[in-house]
Structure 1
Amino acid sequence: MVRNVHRNMNFLKTIIKLFKRISVIHKLIKDPNVAFYKKIMVISGLIYFISPIDLVPEIVLGFGFIDDAVLILYIVSKISDELDRYIKKDQVVFEEDKIIEDIKYKMDDE
């Protein structure tokens, strides 16, 4: 039972990390320091995902979305290190030694 809960939590964490990475792809595309081929890889993957032409048509028993998902997962895995840098930039980190507490202040109305 505990093993199943642990396995489910790991799966959930992986899914959340995937969605976080996907959510910062636009920053990677706009960044002038990112290699051009990586931008082309992302843009071509998005075009393939949107386009009605697929290797496996969507009509085929619901398996048509598998090729789209595999392609997106492949692209995200190839650029995951760079996407993680954008995620880290967005996170707010509180450093324990830089927190100021117990400050008395007074506000004056004008």
Structure 2
Amino acid sequence: MFSLLASVVKYLADPRVRKEVIGLLERLGLIMAMIRDYFAGHYRKLPANTLVALIGALIYFVSPVDTIPDIIPGLGYLDDAGVIAMVFMNFNNDIKAYKKWLEGTDTQR
């Protein structure tokens, strides 16, 4: 087990890997902000299918039942990251619109 953990630590020492992990956490934060702003009534331009996909991705991320169990250090979150990436690819326009709104550059507030 310790050799596996050592491998994970070595893997995370790579700046490219750290950058990807940070990017994943930023995307998760953005997804949570979109959902929170939608249900708070601050941002209502989110299509229903995008909202469902975002909620589904978050549920998959926190669920202990995964394709690759989260208990496996380092590898356990690969499938979760893939789901988050897929949501960002498929709903990129809606996410960009929300980011513009969040940054205050959306003129249709």
Q: Please give the TM-score of this superposition, normalised by the length of structure 2.
A: 0.54
- State the partner residue of 2:8: none
- State the partner residue of 2:48: 36
Aligned residues of 2:38 and 2:46 also touching (Cα < 8 A): yes
Shift of 1:73: 1.1
Aligned residues of 2:53 and 2:87 also touching (Cα < 8 A): yes
Shift of 1:62: 2.7
Shift of 1:25: 2.3
- State the partner residue of 1:25: 34
Larger Rg computed on CA atoms: 1
Q: Which has the higher contact order (CA 8 A, sep 6+)?
A: 1
Aligned residues of 2:69 and 2:76 also touching (Cα < 8 A): yes
Counterpart check, 1:56 vs 2:68: yes
Q: Which blocks of at least 5 consecutive residues in structure 2 are unaligned?
A: 1-15
The structure that is helix-richer by fraction is: 2
Aligned residues of 1:24 and 1:86 also touching (Cα < 8 A): no
Q: Which blocks of at least 5 consecutive residues in structure 1 are unaligned?
A: 1-7, 94-110
- State the partner residue of 2:90: 78
RMSD of aligned Cα (Å):
3.2
Q: Deviations over 1:1-37 (max 9, x none)?
A: xxxxxxx8xx79xx49x64744642235654443322
**Residue identity in the other structure for 1:25:** M
**Residue identity in the other structure for 1:56:** I
Q: Please give the TM-score of this superposition, normalised by the length of structure 1.
A: 0.54
Task: Give the count of matched residue pairs.
Answer: 81
**Residue identity in the other structure for 2:81:** A
Q: Deviations over 1:30-71 (max 9, x none)?
A: 544433222111111111111110111123353111000110
Distance across 2 between alignment mates of 1:91 and 1:32: 16
